[in-house]
Structure 1
Amino acid sequence: MRVSARTDYALRAVSELAAAPPGPVPAERIAVAQNIPRRFLDNILLQLRRAGLIHSLRGPDGGYWLARPAEDITLADVIAVIEGKPEYPAHGGYPGVAGPLADVWSALREHEERLLTEVTFAQIVSSRFSA
């Protein structure tokens, strides 16, 4: 799986929100804490808000917070918002001795999907994830 910088930034921003105490977190604090360019972050936060993963509040006491508990948001949720649903090429099979490679690619896709849909941001911020 290839992860774009945009997706990496989104995952880091949501991790920051998941670790924050209750209440709005200013975008500037997220940008500084995760070393994310502010312009990039603003667009990402807008995308996540439009998708319903985070809420926002304008004003001097405003900021962003998760729309649901961190244990209910998976890595796959964020990746789907930023990248869209992954599409994998169909392998109709390989000729001869390379035939089993199609099964390897299929197993790899299934493992990747399962891992990303099982890991939550609660696990990420509490360091309860181990591969």
Structure 2
Amino acid sequence: MRISAKTDYAIRAAVELAARSSDGDLVKAETVAEAQRIPLRFLLTILSELRHAGVVDSRRGQDGGYRLARPAATVAVADIIRAIDGPLANVAGTRPEALELSGSAEPLREVWISLRSSIRTVLEHVTLADIVARDLPADVTALAEKPDAWVAR
């Protein structure tokens, strides 16, 4: 799975909002940009997309800023990825279950569906609150503790 810079920035920005606005306070985009080293103009575009997806709320003006639209414990990493990039897994823009494969390649559809299921197992169960608290779900931590998980291939 490839995570684009835009998606990485979006996740980091959402985590920063979760960490800074736990009581519902608004956070300036400039504060998020500086804390996460995200170019401000790019961040503003990302925050707009997250707002349209219902992940963040915003208010304009001198006292304006951004905050999560719902509690951090209910915002999964998958929600942010979908808001920025669309479905978690597709093949050339097609959802795996809609693929029409034939002959010897037909079993690939099950491979792609299994891959999507594996991705969901992690990304739909890790919330912004988990990340802020540094308390990831046990099944995610177990995957990261496997010796080969840290080996680049």
Compute the TM-score of the two structures, normalised by the length of structure 2.
0.75
Structure 2 equivalent of residue 83 of structure 1: 85
Letter in 2 for 1:46: S
Q: Distance in 1 between matches of 2:89 and 2:113?
A: 12
Alpha-carbon distance, 1:92 to partner: 3.8
Letter in 2 for 1:123: D
Structure 2 equivalent of residue 119 of structure 1: 126
Higher mean alpha-carbon deviation, 103-112 vs 16-25, is at 103-112
Structure 1 equivalent of residue 5 of structure 2: 5
Listed as ranges, the gaps of 5+ residues in structure 1 are none
Alpha-carbon distance, 1:105 to partner: 4.7
RMSD: 2.1
Equivalent residue pairs, number:
129
Listed as ranges, the gaps of 5+ residues in structure 2 are 92-98, 145-153
Quickly say closer, same or farther: Cα 1:75–1:24, change in 2 above 3 A: same
Quickly say closer, same or farther: Cα 1:94–1:115, change in 2 above 3 A: farther
Alpha-carbon distance, 1:70 to partner: 0.2
Q: Which has the higher contact order (CA 8 A, sep 6+)?
A: 1
